[in-house]
Structure 1
Amino acid sequence: MTTSSPPPGSDHGRTDQMIVLGLAWLRGAQFALWIWVPVVHGFGRYAPEVFVMYVLSAVWSAALFTVAIRRHRLSLGWVAGDVAVAVVGAIVVSRAYPPAEAASITNWVIPPLCGVAVTAAIFGGRFRVPAVAVVVGAWLVGAWPATETSAARELFSNAAMMALFAVVAGVTGALLARSAQHDCRCDDLSDGILRTLDSVARGDYDDSPERLKDLCRRDAARLRGAGGNAEGTA
């Protein structure tokens, strides 16, 4: 996706708004996934920083997507903040877990880290690759003690999952952005041709047939160009 803010009513703006809403629901579900863990295992089993970071990260995500929904997109500054919060959570929380559990699903940071990687891949602009790499790297650093246990395979499989989700999200976001931009160009072309027809109907070019011919040739060339681009992307 682009880093500049498209008009809210444009195709591009509506696409960004739809993606932001989808990411907000995804992040909420990712935090909700962990609620059963302390209920089943007991609240006293985990260090206080596990719960403190959970609350802080959830509040941050709520603020992030409240702003994003209002603005219909995420700016680079908010994406960078999201990555920073995720890095702190990945390291602090994962190190607070027993090494044998640090890479397991009982570690609440795993789903939100996937969400942060996906968000960065879509709205990170030219920084999307280093942003995703930082998120995945923070996970590996935080849960690295798990390599000394039987959970080592989970550590690396979770890292691969985060990277894969980010790649798929980045490609999907780019395809949606390209489609929205193409729709905008088609709308602009249609508006231009309609303006020409309105001018002819009003008689604006009755005294200047050569100017009318030039205008028609220009619109015809634009129409042929749009048709060629559509065939090339089909």
Structure 2
Amino acid sequence: MITFFRKLRQQLLTQNKFSRYLVYAIGEIVLVVIGILIALQINNWNEHQKLQEQEKKLLLSLQKEMQENIAILEDKVNYNEVSMASMDRFITLAYKERLTEYNYTSNIRIFDYNPAIVESPILDDILESDSRALLSNSELLQKLRALKANYNAIEKGEYYLDEFWNNRITDYLISAGTGYVIFSGMEADNIPDDIPTQKVLKIDDQFLSLIVVKKGLQRVWLSSQKNALERSKKVIQQLENM
């Protein structure tokens, strides 16, 4: 084919048919441009197919990660709701019946809480790196950013709760003489006689203030867990329908 066009071009030149040669040259250029455009179109289609395949694999990995985090969050929410309920009952009872003593080993849950920070490396990769370019669904990206904000809120709430426990509650419990019982996990009856301990705390204003502040911090923290759980389920539903 190339030889044919070359001979045709030479023939037109030797016959001094410049106008026809010009038309031929323009036609040849048009054919070359069309060929380039077709090649680019095929290349773009191939690249699009590759991106779609990468996006599909990425979304499947994200779905698996979120399913694991949903299971974790459900467990954490259930546990921490029990702790919240224990604090609510105790505070109501303490004020209503004017309790003066509290047996730690018989009602451990008012000081308790279960860490709830979740790991999300795939979600982080999508939001923080070039992987987000693979996600063509802007609505989904917006929901993923909101979910990450929920995860961050859980971590922030847990930080404040940990700080309050370490800086306030721990010192109070140790000064009250319950440190060995609480932090060793042992019943007072199993502790050697030469170690002074007590498992009954005096319920005073300081004690009640600690519980009320912990309850407030934990309520905000638990709310972040519930929000993350609810949003995770909605995102999973959208992923399954894609």
TM score, norm. by length of structure 1: 0.31
Question: Looking at both structures, which has the greater relative contact order when contacts are Cα pairs under 8 Å and sequence separation is at least 6?
Answer: 2
Larger radius of gyration: 2
